[in-house]
Amino acid sequence: MLDIQQATEIVLARTRSFGEEQRPLYECRGRVLRQDIRADRDFPPFTQVRMDGIAIQWAAYEAGQRVYPVEATQAAGSPQLQLKDPNACLEVMTGAVLPAGTDTVIRYEDVELADGQAVIQEGAKVKSRQNAHLQGLDRKEGTLIVQSGAVLSSAEIGVAATVGLPELTVAKMPTAVIVSTGDELVEVHESPALHQIRTSNSHTIQMALARWGVQADRLHIDDELEATKAALGRCIESYDVILLSGGVSKGKYDYVPAALEALGVQKHFHKVKQRPGKPFWFGDVEGQCTVFALPGNPVSSFMCTHRYVRPWLRKSLGLDPMGYAYAALAEDFTFQRDLTYFLQVRTQHDAESGRLMAQPVKGKGSGDLANLVDADAFLELPRGRDHFASGEVFPLIFYRAPLR
């Protein structure tokens, strides 16, 4: 068996790019940008009014003037007006172009309007050029705003929209299929016999991938060698990545490793010194298809998806592969096996210290799918020791968090 660090290094050494594609802006949230986004004009493109009020010339105020005749109103979205009388004012709305001939905006709260005049209230604090956001102050035309390689959130998409980009070039996601094995499995809508269970792993993994931007198909294979070989052969030809659930251990009907070997998939390792997920198998057809054969127990397959598939996907997209958070144990914990242990925990921030704390959530083993509902993360406890003290900090894998 490999140590978890060795297994991780092997997985991350087998990443590859899946190319680029153009996608409509509304489909780009969470995707990895493959172009630079630059300002197509100054930000803001004109000196902009930032408060509803009146616009004046500072020189008039500085000279002691406090009463101004109102010439007109500058609305947002209207062409720029010109102040004709330097001792008058224009009413202005937030977002409007600052009228020509004015340089200072006084908010309505500091002004009394009556009979076509604006009177600045006594005690109002007025400064030169206040509430006027200068043209180009945020960014100049041609300035790089979002660099290629960024993960697109609503903020970056807003920037793309404002510079006139209805489509963006983004990293292409891999095509994927999740393959479940086992005669004991029936579909969700079916009523299982006493000796059967409904399939859940494929749905759990599918939803995890979907949150990371990968739309995966699902397929089920019965426990029969030739059927397994035939189905996996078609998958290798059709998909960039295959995630298998079950059939990778030492059982009499665990045909997955033999079928993959017969199909020419190179095995890079089988079994890792970890709990849960020890029977994890990893291999590929170089440059064509990557295969993650996950243990069938639901917690094992779920954990391995987050601990290995997610970093592999992140690195393939040019991101920091691990993207770890960290948390402190909320209480002492003991694990007396020479394995890396992924402890299910419920996290919360300590109000006094601000630290992220991880409270162990006791379950019934790797088959206890329901226990995942009570937790929200795995705390990665290193092998080589038995006792883990309250307050110690360890890597944390949030499974309610997105890829980025």
Q: Please give the Cα distance from 356 to 149 (Å, whole number).
A: 29
Q: Which domains does the chain have, with CATH numbers?
A: 4-18+173-316 (3.40.980.10), 22-43+138-171 (3.90.105.10), 48-133 (2.170.190.11), 325-398 (2.40.340.10)
Looking only at the bridges linking them, the beta strands covering 48-49 and 132-133 are antiparallel
In which residue ranges of the chain is pLDDT below 70?
183-186, 188, 190, 196-200, 247, 249-254, 364-369, 401-404
Q: Please give the Cα distance from 4 to 307 (Å, whole number).
A: 10
| Residue that is written with structure tokens 């005749």 in the block | 69
Q: Tell me what pLDDT residue 215 has.
A: 95
Task: Retrieve residue 106's tokens.
Answer: 């006084």
Looking only at the bridges linking them, the beta strands covering 104-107 and 53-56 are antiparallel
Task: Retrieve residue 33's tokens.
Answer: 């940008």
**Cα–chain center distance at 351:** 26
Q: Tell me what pLDDT residue 251 has.
A: 56
C-beta neighbour count of 104 within 10 angstroms: 23
Q: Tell me what pLDDT residue 250 has.
A: 62
Q: Please give the Cα distance from 221 to 188 (Å, whole number).
A: 16
Evaluate whether 353 touches 283 at the Cβ level (below 8 Å): no
Q: Which H/E stretch holds residue 253?
A: none
Evaluate whether 205 touches 245 at the Cβ level (below 8 Å): yes
Task: Retrieve residue 319's tokens.
Answer: 């991101």
Q: Tell me what pLDDT residue 58 has.
A: 98
Please, is 395 exposed, middle or buried when counting C-beta atoms within 10 Å of its C-beta (0-12, 13-18, 19+)? middle
Task: Retrieve residue 29's tokens.
Answer: 């949230």
pTM of the complete model: 0.86
Q: Please give the Cα distance from 84 to 92 (Å, whole number).
A: 15
Q: Tell me what pLDDT residue 183 has.
A: 64
Q: Please give the Cα distance from 96 to 77 (Å, whole number).
A: 6
User: Which residues neighbour 104 within 8 Å (Cβ) at sequence distance 6 or greater?
Assistant: 55, 56, 57, 58, 61, 126, 127, 128, 129, 130, 131, 132
CA distances 88 to 16, 30, 69, 70, 380, Å, are 66, 51, 5, 6, 69
